[in-house]
Amino acid sequence: MAYEEWCFAWYEAAIPTTGDTRAALVKNSKWTPGETISISFIDGTPEQQALVKKFAVGWIEGLANLNFSWMNPPDTDIRISFTRKGSWSVIGTTARNVPKDRPTMNFGWLKPTITDAEARRVILHEFGHALGLIHEHQNPIAGIQWNKPAVMADLSGPPNSWDAAKINHNMFEQYPPNDINGTTLDRKSIMMYPIPASWITAGDPVGLNAELSTADKTFIKQQYP
């Protein structure tokens, strides 16, 4: 594969199975429109922290009606580390269920050699999760026909080295339709990770999306008016 680094995300609570159902957002993990989300860094260099601050606001500048307040740990809604393996985030307000001595988001790929374009992509993606967005391929209307053995083989090896449970959760599990705000699949979404041809048995592969799509912008404004 040309692209090998996949993030994982999870809902820090049991996913509800009842409710009312482009980018898809878990209803029970939404912040309140107009709310200020407190964010802190557990570790990281000044350069790493500056990159996160620079690009994370891409979701709220003229889009989501939310505010970010950068504070000191540990008593914040979102706590960011750079020292764990991989890049990942807890989904939405379920970050508040994570013990205060643990991060809710990690950027293991923000190395000194990273380009601004790659930093923007991964930061926007993880902050999408933090605002309640799931991976677009887990949207229940996605209809992706997976070549599961190929996906399992690739993601079980480096650099991800995921076990079978983590692969199933992040790749094949779909959210209950009644718990999702979402309509059609947005192949250009920042939340849609690349899907190589070897991972599917039908349909077209998906390339690397590095910016918020038009649908991302419209959707996040609708969810946080």
Residues 24-69 pLDDT 10s: 677 789 999 999 999 999 999 999 999 999 999 999 999 999 999 9
Q: Is residue 113 part of a domain?
A: yes
Domain membership of residue 212 (yes or no) is yes
List of residues 6+ apart from 105 with CB closer than 8 A: 78, 79, 80, 81, 88, 89, 90, 95, 126, 127, 129, 130
Q: Report the pLDDT value the prediction gives residue 17, as an integer from 0 to 100.
A: 37
User: Domain tally for the chain?
Assistant: 1
The pTM for the full model equals 0.85
Tens-digit pLDDT profile for residues 186-204:
889 999 888 889 999 998 8
Closest CA to 171 of 203, 136, 197: 136
For residue 132, give the amino acid letter: G
Give the C-alpha separation, 215 to 25, whole Å: 13
Rounded Cα–Cα distance for residues 144 and 41 (Å): 36
CATH number of the domain residue 208 falls in: 3.40.390.10
Rounded Cα distance between 15 and 35, Å, is 23
- pLDDT over threshold 50, residue 22: no
The answer to the question of residue 210 being in a domain is yes
The answer to whether residue 158 is domain-embedded is: yes
d(CA 161, CA 21): 33
Tokens of 68: 């970010």
| Beta partners for residue 71, in sequence order | 40
DSSP 194-205: -B-GGGBSSS--
Asked whether residue 188 is domain-assigned, the answer is yes
Domain extent, residue 118, equals 25-223
Read off the DSSP letter of residue 16: P
Cα–Cα distance for residue pair 224/207, rounded to 1 Å: 28
Longest dimension (CA), the chain: 48
Residue 2 located in a structural domain = no
**What's the whole-number mean pLDDT along residues 141-160?**
86
Residue 56 lies in a domain: yes
The reported pLDDT for the residue numbered 144 is 84
Which stretch of 11-15, 78-82, 113-117, 202-206 has the lowest confidence by average pLDDT? 11-15
Confidence band of 20 (pLDDT split at 50, 70, 90): very low
Residue 13 resides in a domain: no
